């Protein structure tokens, strides 16, 4: 596990060893790294090799919901619902694959009831089934607008255990809002599987090299110092 600052500083150092004129904003470097991490992690979710990596999962506790009218929220798909709850805030980006979202567990506050997360399209398809009534109140819809919806429910708080690279995920919930020792943005950790560290780092580095149009050295055996001498 490394901090944002450690990752970006290492990339800056390696880029500088290839070209002294390499100047890329630190936030762009970090975004490139995170986008690359999301891509590879999603691939691993696709082959189901990450679901046992418990260190990847984060709790988002006390997600607050409010009562909503399907007309006012513009969601005609909920017109058959007796009630509708909507998350007060947009949810941090949850990684996904063709098998669905990287969600291990969704429960109410006392863990007495569990829910399943589905997309809006899946919900619409389910609503057309003859036995739809037995599914009511059991599913949470994660819509493209970034909010969570719970049809036919009056629940106001939920907990979720998910895979997300959003650094603000722990601030999303309503529990433990006070921060007595808040962490600087660049000191935050980015949680990625150890076995993917170098793969993600190297791919990010290559993307940044291409952006800078730095000539690629054909000799893969040269270290960074030797490469810098060759290019300059």
For residue 89, being part of any structural domain is answered with: yes
Between 99 and 66, where is the model more confident? 66
Please report the beta strands in 30-156, taking only residues with DSSP state E, as ranges in sequence order.
Answer: 57-67, 84-87, 96-97, 100-101, 103-108, 116-119, 139-142, 148-151
- Kindly state whether residues 80 and 105 are assigned to the same domain: yes
Number of domains making up the chain:
2
Considering the chain, what is the average pLDDT of its residues?
A: 78
Percent of the chain with pLDDT over 70: 78
- Kindly state whether residues 117 and 135 are assigned to the same domain: yes
Mean pLDDT, residues 137-164: 87
Which of the given ranges, 35-39, 44-48, 52-56, 220-224, has the highest pLDDT on average? 35-39
Between 84 and 227, where is the model more confident? 84
* Residue range of the domain that includes 222: 2-52+193-231
For residue 157, being part of any structural domain is answered with: yes
Mean pLDDT, residues 41-52: 72
For residue 72, being part of any structural domain is answered with: yes
- Kindly state whether residues 92 and 118 are assigned to the same domain: yes
For residue 203, being part of any structural domain is answered with: yes
For residue 44, being part of any structural domain is answered with: yes
- Kindly state whether residues 143 and 89 are assigned to the same domain: yes
Domain boundary among 141, 172, 203: 172
- Kindly state whether residues 146 and 226 are assigned to the same domain: no
Question: How many other C-beta atoms are found inside a 10 Å radius of the C-beta of residue 151?
Answer: 24
- Kindly state whether residues 80 and 39 are assigned to the same domain: no
User: 């049809």: which residue's tokens?
Assistant: 151
pLDDT of residue 121: 84
pLDDT of residue 29: 93
For residue 209, being part of any structural domain is answered with: yes
- Kindly state whether residues 142 and 202 are assigned to the same domain: no
| CA separation for the pair 165, 16 (Å, rounded) | 27
Instruction: Using the predicted structure, report yes or no on whether residue 176 has a pLDDT greater than 60.
Output: no
pLDDT of residue 177: 52
Mean pLDDT, residues 158-165: 86
Supply the Cα-derived Rg of the chain in whole angstroms: 22
Mean pLDDT, residues 209-215: 80
Percent of the chain with pLDDT over 90: 15
Confidence band of 226 (pLDDT split at 50, 70, 90): very low
* Helix and strand numbers, DSSP H then E, in the chain: 6, 11
Cβ burial, residue 138 (10 Å; 0-12/13-18/19+): middle
For residue 184, being part of any structural domain is answered with: no
- Kindly state whether residues 28 and 122 are assigned to the same domain: no
Residue 199 CB contacts under 8 Å (≥ 6 apart), including other chains: 40
pLDDT of residue 7: 92
Confidence band of 96 (pLDDT split at 50, 70, 90): confident
- Kindly state whether residues 141 and 113 are assigned to the same domain: yes
- Kindly state whether residues 35 and 62 are assigned to the same domain: no
pLDDT of residue 191: 75
Instruction: Using the predicted structure, report yes or no on whether residue 101 has a pLDDT greater than 70.
Output: yes
pLDDT of residue 127: 77
Instruction: Using the predicted structure, report yes or no on whether residue 221 has a pLDDT greater than 60.
Output: no
For residue 181, being part of any structural domain is answered with: no
User: 């409010």: which residue's tokens?
Assistant: 66
Instruction: Using the predicted structure, report yes or no on whether residue 205 has a pLDDT greater than 90.
Output: yes
């Amino acid at each position: 596990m490394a901090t944002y600052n450690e990752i970006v500083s290492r990339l800056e150092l390696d880029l500088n060893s290839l070209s002294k004129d390499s100047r890329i904003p630190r936030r762009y470097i970090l975004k490139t790294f995170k986008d690359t991490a999301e891509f590879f992690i999603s691939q691993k979710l696709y082959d189901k090799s990450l679901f046992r990596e418990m260190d990847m999962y984060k709790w988002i506790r006390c997600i607050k919901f409010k009562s909503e009218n399907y007309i006012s929220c513009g969601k005609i798909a909920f017109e058959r619902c007796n009630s509708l709850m909507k998350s007060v805030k947009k949810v941090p980006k949850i990684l996904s694959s063709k098998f669905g979202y990287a969600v291990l567990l969704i429960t109410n506050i006392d863990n007495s009831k569990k829910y399943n997360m589905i997309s809006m399209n899946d919900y619409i398809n389910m609503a057309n089934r003859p036995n739809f009534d037995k599914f009511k109140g059991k599913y949470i819809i994660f819509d493209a607008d970034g909010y969570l919806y719970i049809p036919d429910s009056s629940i106001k708080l939920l907990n979720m255990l998910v895979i997300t690279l959003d650094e603000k995920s722990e601030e999303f919930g309503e529990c433990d809002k006070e921060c007595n020792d808040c962490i600087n943005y660049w000191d935050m950790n980015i949680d990625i599987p150890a076995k993917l560290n170098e793969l993600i780092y190297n791919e990010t580095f290559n993307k940044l090299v291409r952006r800078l149009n730095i000539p690629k050295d054909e000799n893969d055996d040269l270290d960074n110092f030797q490469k810098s001498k060759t290019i300059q």
